[in-house]
Structure 1
Amino acid sequence: MVVGILPVPLADEPLSDALAYLDNLGVNAVEFGCGGYPGKDYINRTSLLDDSDAQANLCATLEAYDMAVRALATHNNPLHPGEERAERGDCELREAFAFPITRREHYHMFFRIAR
C-alpha cells in the first residue's frame, strides 16, 4: 500500500528532515505544493523548471528516502471571477503541468524538461 501526504505542515523543516520524518512514519509518497494555497515551500516551479542541478538534487533527495511524488498541488482557481486571481491561478496550474513525470518501478519522480 502506498501512503502519501501533502507535507505543508512540515514546511518549516528542510526537505531532507521532513522526508526522514515521513519515512520513519511509513509514508512513501508526497504531494508537493507548487503554488496557490499550499504554497511552494519544497517545489518552486518557476526556478526548478530551468535548473537541471536543482532537479537532480531533488531527485537524489527523494531517492535517498525511497519517496515518490504522487502529485503536484496548486489548489487555486483559474476560473475565479477576479481577473488577476484567475490569471495567477491559470499560470500556476500550467507551470505545474510543465513537470513531465515518468514512473519507474518505485514511482520516483524524474524531471525531463523538453522545451
Structure 2
Amino acid sequence: MKLGVFTVLFSQKNLDEMLDYVKEAGVKAVEIGTGGYPGNAHCDIDALLESEEKRKEYLEKVTSRGLEISAFSCHGNPISPDQTFAKESHEALVKTIKLASLMGVPVVNCFSGTAGDHEGAKYPNWPVTPWPNEYGDVLKWQWEEKLIPYWKEWGQFAKDHDVKIGLELHGGFLVHTPHTILKLREATCDAIGANLIRVTYGGKV
C-alpha cells in the first residue's frame, strides 16, 4: 500500500510547488484533478492531450520526485438534467480517460451521476426510499433510462482505453453504497469499480 494525496487540496500552489510539498510530506502517489468539481489547477488537459512532449515533461516532474500518479479525478454529473453541466461533465470524463490512457494512469475517479425525475426535470432528484411507490418508480427510471445506458457506453470506452473507472460512493449520487456499485458493475462492465477513500484529519482517521 502506498500513501497518496488528492492534490486539489493544494490548488493554491502551482504544479511544481505542490509536488515539492507532497514529496516533503512523505507521500508516494498523487491523484490529480482534471475538471468537474475538483477543477484542473494542476492539469491543463487540452494542452497535454495535444502534445506528447508536454506529457513527457509533466510525467518527468512527477517521477523525478519519486512520485506516481495513482489517478486522475473529474467528478461531475454527466447525467444531470442541467444539460450544460452534463455536457461539461461528460466532456471532462472523456478527455480524462483519453489522457489517462496516453500517460499510463490506471484509474479515473468520478461520480456516477444523478438524473432528474423525468425528461423535463430541471434539477437532479435523489430518491432515498422505495415507498411511497412514486419514489421507487423514479429510481427505476433513473437507473434503466439514464445511469445504466450511460455507463454501459462509457465504461466500455474506458475499458477499450485500458483505464478503470473509480466511482466515489457519495451521497446525492445514484451509486453511493457497496450494493449500488456492484449493481451498476453487473449491469455494465468490469471497468467500473469503487473509489475507496481513507481521509485523515488532524492525525486521526
Does 2:75 align with 1:75?
Answer: yes
Report the residue type matching 1:5 in the other structure. V
TM-aligned CA deviation for residue 102 of structure 1 = 2.9
Report the residue type matching 1:30 in the other structure. V
Between 1 and 2, higher relative CO (CA 8 Å, sep ≥ 6) is seen in: 1
Select the structure of larger CA radius of gyration. 2
TM-aligned CA deviation for residue 16 of structure 1 = 1.7
Does 2:61 align with 1:61?
Answer: yes
Consecutive aligned runs of 4 or more in structure 1 exceeding 6 Å deviation: none
Question: What residue number does 1:13 align with?
Answer: 13
Q: State the distance in 2 between where 1:50 and 1:6 align.
A: 25
TM-aligned CA deviation for residue 13 of structure 1 = 1.6
The Cα RMSD (Å) is 1.4
Q: State the distance in 2 between where 1:22 and 1:75 align.
A: 22
- Aligned residue pairs total 103
TM-aligned CA deviation for residue 14 of structure 1 = 2.2
Q: State the distance in 2 between where 1:53 and 1:12 align.
A: 26
Task: Give aligned-pair identity as a percent.
Answer: 25
TM-score in terms of structure 1 length:
0.82
Question: What residue number does 1:32 align with?
Answer: 32
TM-aligned CA deviation for residue 9 of structure 1 = 2.3
Instruction: Specify the SS of the correspondent of 1:20.
Output: helix
Question: What residue number does 2:141 align with?
Answer: none
Q: State the distance in 2 between where 1:39 and 1:54 align.
A: 20
Q: State the distance in 1 between where 2:20 and 2:85 align.
A: 36
TM-aligned CA deviation for residue 53 of structure 1 = 2.1
**Conserved 8 A contact 2:14-2:41:** no
